[in-house]
Chain A
Amino acid sequence: MNTKNKLIYIVLIIIILILVALNLQVYINNNFEVNNMKNGTEQNSLASLNQEINTNYNTSTNEEDEQNRDNKVATLNERQRMQTYFGRYLSYIESGDYQSAYDLLYDGFKQNYFPTIDKFVTYVQSNYPKNIVVEYTNIEREGTVFILTVKIRDALNDTTQTEVSEQQVVITENSVNDFKLSFAVNE
């Protein structure tokens, strides 16, 4: 075999290897790679993000979903993150998952006002509507602690009579999706 033919064969082999590698790459991407989020489109969709997080949080169990959710929340600004966290808390209450909601409360707050989950459930059932609409009216920060001012209404009976008076919610965030909260208790 002359040198020219050898060169052609080597080139052909390399082309075949490239094609194999590209196919392998596509396969791996489709099956294993975590979907990366693009900031431009996600930051505009807080409502859908909230909805997605709230509706999927209980059911999404695999690691990829968690990573995906963390990635999404990490791109939000502070106000949006705090609203997302409180939204998650409310979604637990709305769906009757009181234990998960209770677990999000700050320990000192639990000791002060709700030492048992039963007390918390009783409070929630008498102070929150079944279908919750929340309006965020203000946010302040005290160092690493955020104070949200919110109005909570009944989604199915949205009149002034059903409006819960403005309430303050305190949230502290350790890292993405790792937070604790407390709120002004109606005594």
Chain B
Amino acid sequence: MLALRNFWKKYWKYIIIIAIVWIVIIIINNYLKNIPKELNIINTYTPDTPVMDTGDRVPQEEKEEVNNIIDTFFNYCNNKEYKNAYDMLTTDCQEYMYSNSLGDFIEYVDSIYTNKKIYNIQNYSNVNDVYIYDINILDDILSTGTTGGYQTHSEKIALIKENGVMKISNQGYIGKTTFNNKYGEDNYLKINILYKNMSYQREEYAVEISNKTDGYIVIGNGNVANEITLNLGDQTRPALDLINNPIIIAPGQKVNCFLLFDKYYDDGKDPKEMNFNLIRVFGNNEDLAKEGLTSNANVSYSMNIQLNK
């Protein structure tokens, strides 16, 4: 006992220090354990994770801007601030979807935003710095409780930088590409591919065709499959609806026409060339030309125009 007392006398400072440090550690440990933890709830809604390719995400630094722009555009539409919303559209979208007319845009807004709406978004795919989202616009079911049912409207919107400013292209439309010197020419005609408008599911090519003969020329009338095709490298896509929009060029005439092809914007395929597979040159008998039978043509041949060189 005496020895213990002696030991205490000699080392009490060290013992007290060790004890204090020990107690402080215990107190800190308990304090940290009792700090309310931030609760992370299970949430399967991931609007910024693309459906098509989860690896190709909207860059982190642009995510907030993208969400803010969609929200602002929606609110402008919902509050019928037409001009403000219209100004957020890309110039290509204003031109193609609304003929550069605010009135046309107002018609669109009024047809969708029939009453107060809410919305949700889901990133669909991101290609070439174009961020494509699905937007689902629906009646404000929180305010109605779904009383009387509710309506929803879905469309794809694309967020695209235009002169450094992020803009919106809506109703599934993406944008326009203008071509230079994409043409084919021979003794009979000249086909000049001017530009294309791309929507999420389709590409529409504007084509100018000049008939250099004094007879009729049939480019496509739906009589035969694959009269005009778009070559994507590993596959071809036929021009749509030629049977209802036949391309028949009168002698010496120049016409502008539009050729529509199925093509998803995010399919990773690059159009290589446009194939005019059955050009038929007739005489000046219009009826024979309209009939469009290859057997009645003076000449029939094909022409390919490179698109990606």
- Where the two chains meet, the residues of A that have a C-beta atom closer than 8 Å to any C-beta of B are 1, 5-6, 9-10, 13-14, 17, 21, 24-25, 28, 32-34, 67, 70-71, 73-78, 81, 106, 108-109, 111-113, 141-145, 147, 168-170, 172-173, 175-176, 180, 182-185, 187
Question: Chain B, 96-137, contact with A by CB distance < 8 Å: what is the 0/1 string?
Answer: 000000000000000000000011110000000000000010
A141 to B122, CA, bound (A): 13
A108 to B141, CA, bound (A): 10
Q: Pull 23 A–B residue pairs with CB atoms less than 8 Å apart, ordered by A.
A: A1-B7, A5-B3, A13-B15, A24-B23, A33-B30, A67-B36, A74-B40, A75-B42, A78-B43, A106-B143, A142-B152, A143-B45, A143-B119, A145-B118, A170-B142, A170-B145, A176-B39, A176-B41, A182-B141, A182-B145, A182-B146, A184-B145, A185-B145
CB distance from B46 to the nearest CB of A (A): 11
Contact A74 B39 (CB under 8 A): yes
A17 to B16, CA, bound (A): 10
Of A13, A142, A180, the residue contacting B136 (CB under 8 A) is A142
Contact B136 A143 (CB under 8 A): yes
Of B6, B26, B45, B118, the residue contacting A24 (CB under 8 A) is B26
A144 to B44, CA, bound (A): 10
CB distance from A75 to the nearest CB of B (A): 8
Of A73, A78, A113, A182, the residue contacting B44 (CB under 8 A) is A78
Contacts of B39 in A (CB 8 A): 70-71, 74, 175-176
Contact A172 B3 (CB under 8 A): no
Contact A185 B33 (CB under 8 A): no
- By Cβ-Cβ distance, the 10 closest A-B pairs, closest first, are A143-B120, A108-B143, A182-B145, A74-B39, A168-B146, A183-B145, A185-B147, A184-B146, A106-B142, A9-B7
A145 to B118, CA, bound (A): 10
Contacts of B11 in A (CB 8 A): 9-10
Contact B145 A25 (CB under 8 A): no
Contacts of A32 in B (CB 8 A): 30, 34
Contact B147 A144 (CB under 8 A): no
A-B pair count, CB < 8 Å, reads 112
Contact A109 B143 (CB under 8 A): yes
Given the known interface contacts A17-B19, A108-B142, the answer about A187 and B147 at a Cβ–Cβ threshold of 8 Å is yes
Tell me whether B22 is interfacial, beta carbon within 8 Å: yes
A59 to B30, CA, bound (A): 28
Contacts of A21 in B (CB 8 A): 22-23, 26
Of A67, A145, A180, the residue contacting B141 (CB under 8 A) is A145
A48 to B136, CA, bound (A): 37
Given the known interface contacts A143-B119, A143-B120, the answer about A175 and B41 at a Cβ–Cβ threshold of 8 Å is yes
Whose C-beta in chain A lies nearest to the C-beta of B143?
A: A108
A144 to B6, CA, bound (A): 71
A84 to B67, CA, bound (A): 31
Given pairs A10-B11, A109-B145, A175-B39, 13 additional interface contacts (CB within 8 A): A6-B7, A9-B3, A9-B4, A14-B18, A21-B23, A32-B30, A33-B34, A81-B41, A143-B45, A172-B142, A182-B142, A184-B145, A184-B146
Contact B7 A168 (CB under 8 A): no
CB distance from A142 to the nearest CB of B (A): 6
Tell me whether B47 is interfacial, beta carbon within 8 Å: yes
Contact B45 A144 (CB under 8 A): yes
Contact B22 A112 (CB under 8 A): no
